[in-house]
Amino acid sequence: MRKNIVAGNWKMNNDTKETKLLLKEIRKGVKKAALKNTKVIVAPSFVNLNTAVKVLGNSKIKVAAQNMNAAKNGAFTGEISADMLKSAGVKTVILGHSERRAYFGETDAILKEKVDSALEQKMKLIFCFGEELNDRKENKHFELVESQIKNALFHLPETSWKKIVLAYEPVWAIGTGETASPEQAQEMHAFIRKTVADKYTAEIADNVSILYGGSVKPTNAKEIFSKPDVDGGLIGGAALKAADFLAIIAAI
């Protein structure tokens, strides 16, 4: 059975002190909540990953990185490898976030290399994709999403899918306050699951968690999460306040 997941993408927010404080509050709240079949993940900045791993200790909350380089090591100033992440106790990485695609030139081809490298290093990944507003206006959103998944993931063997979580994040809904309606999210998530089933098997498609991301808040989380193909959320802004993040976790 696929898992429900609530993941907090902190982006470039929180220094070390703030990281510790926020994580302690989240840890306390998650401990109190009786979570069934639900995984909680937080993705602080690179410099605070070590701190996060220490603060969270053996709690159920997992730590993810927001990015990594595909290379094993070498002359890539400012970059971080999978090995480095693993040595810091981080076994999950977010790849393909729309901000990485838009501001840092990450193409499907680059992401494919990152996916391969992460899986080679036995890491789990949260793979993000989603259309821009224009794609939706021109009714190209299904085609676009399909190509993003296909180009970066469909060369993988079936066994890799145990390590993959998908995150559908329509770019027009990220940080804008505008959310996809629960119906729009469900429609796309069902399409994604069918795309995976057609390429692989119904079982693989059924077992992959598909998260929705884009202005998820305590006020809309429950409705979005209630849709059958929405298995949780990738949360940006609302993951920076413990009370909001915990309320979103409770909504699942």
List the catalytic residue out of 97, 99, 141, 189: 97
Exactly one of 99, 131, 146, 169 is catalytic; which is it?
A: 169
Decide: is 96 part of the binding site for ligand PGA (CB under 6 A): no
Give whole-number Cα distances, 229 to 14, 154, 221, 234, in Å.
Answer: 32, 20, 14, 15
Is residue 237 involved in binding ligand PGA (CB under 6 A)?
Answer: yes
Q: Which two tokens stand for residue 149?
A: 């998944």
Nearer to ligand PGA, 62 or 200 (CB): 62
Rounded Cα–Cα distance for residues 87 and 98 (Å): 27
Pick one of 131, 135, 146, 169: the residue that binds ligand PGA (CB under 6 A): 169
Q: Which of 250, 163, 236 is nearest to 10 (CA)?
A: 236
247 CB neighbour count, 10 Å cutoff = 17
The answer to whether residue 97 is catalytic is yes
Q: Indicate whether 174 belongs to the interface with ligand PGA (CB under 6 A).
A: yes
Q: What is the largest CA-CA distance in the chain?
A: 48
Q: Is 11 left (phi over 0), alpha (psi -120 to 50) or beta?
A: left
**What is the closest distance, in whole angstroms, from the C-beta atom of residue 48 to ligand PGA in the complex?**
18
Quick check: 111 binds ligand PGA (CB under 6 A)?
no
Side-chain-side CA neighbours of 248 within 13 Å: the count stands at 34
Q: Which stretch binds ligand PGA (CB under 6 A): 116-124, 168-176, 183-191, 196-204?
A: 168-176
The single-letter code of the amino acid at 133 is L
How many C-alpha atoms does 128 have within 13 Å on its Cβ side?
26
Confirm or reject binding of residue 89 to ligand PGA (CB under 6 A): no
Among 19, 215, 224, 245, binds ligand PGA (CB under 6 A): 215
Looking at residue 231, what DSSP letter applies? Answer: -
Nearer Cβ to ligand PGA, position 89 or 175?
A: 175
Q: Are 100 and 70 in contact, with CB atoms under 8 Å apart?
A: no
State the nearest-atom distance from the C-beta of 236 to ligand PGA, in Å: 2
Please state, in angstroms and rounded to a whole number, the distance separating the CA atoms of residues 120 and 105: 23
* 14 touches ligand PGA by CB under 6 A: no
Q: Which residues in 216-235 contact ligand PGA (CB under 6 A)?
A: 216, 234-235
Note if 155 is an active site residue.
no
Structure tokens at 88: 């810091």
Q: Which of 213, 230, 248, 251 binds ligand PGA (CB under 6 A)?
A: 213
Question: Is 214 an interacting residue with respect to ligand PGA (CB under 6 A)?
Answer: yes
Rule CB under 6 A: is residue 175 a binding residue for ligand PGA? Answer: yes
Residues 224 and 185 sit within 8 Å (Cβ to Cβ): yes
β-partners of residue 121 are none
Instruction: Decide if residue 170 touches ligand PGA (CB under 6 A).
Output: no
Nearest residue to ligand PGA, scored by beta-carbon proximity:
236
Q: Residues with catalytic annotation?
A: 97, 169
Footprint on this chain of ligand PGA (rule: CB under 6 A): 9, 169, 174-175, 213-216, 234-238
